[in-house]
Amino acid sequence: MSIQKYLDASTAHITAEDNTLLQQSETSEDIPGCCSYPYDQGYFISIYPDAPSEQEKADSGYSESFFKVQEYARKRGCTVLRLDADGDLIEDLEKHNW
């Protein structure tokens, strides 16, 4: 049996543009560094062990904030990131008001 660690974070840690891109992604292959599963209040995001390259980030259209919240989870041993409208605000991460 495998038990995974996850980070619960607010969608305020991503931009409105990131949210739009996540909603428009038909496959998670479009999202570097993770695999996303949307639900009505946010996203469950499976974090890959290796961070995407700078080129993958630049080509993706996602903000630096999106990758910072992934990296925050990755550095803490989390394999899942839950971005939720009512999720926790993390002091060390930028907050976006949208």
With beta carbons less than 8 A apart as the criterion, state whether 19 and 66 touch.
no
Q: What is the pLDDT of residue 29?
A: 66
Give residue limits of the domains in the chain. Answer: 6-84
The mean pLDDT values, 10 residues at a time, for the chain of 98 residues are 93 97 76 86 91 92 96 96 96 95
What pLDDT, on the 0 to 100 scale, is given for residue 89? 97
Q: How many CA atoms does the CB half-sphere of 42 hold within 13 Å? A: 19
Classify burial at 80, counting beta carbons within 10 Å of its beta carbon; exposed 0-12, middle 13-18, buried 19 or more: middle
- Alpha-carbon distance of 43 to 11, in angstroms, equals 9
Q: What is the pTM of this model?
A: 0.89
Residue 31: the pLDDT is: 84
Q: For position 26, what pLDDT does the model report?
A: 65
Query: Of 84, 81, 93, 83, whose CA–CA distance to 6 is shortest?
Result: 81
Q: Is the separation of the CB atoms in 93 and 72 below 8 Å?
A: yes
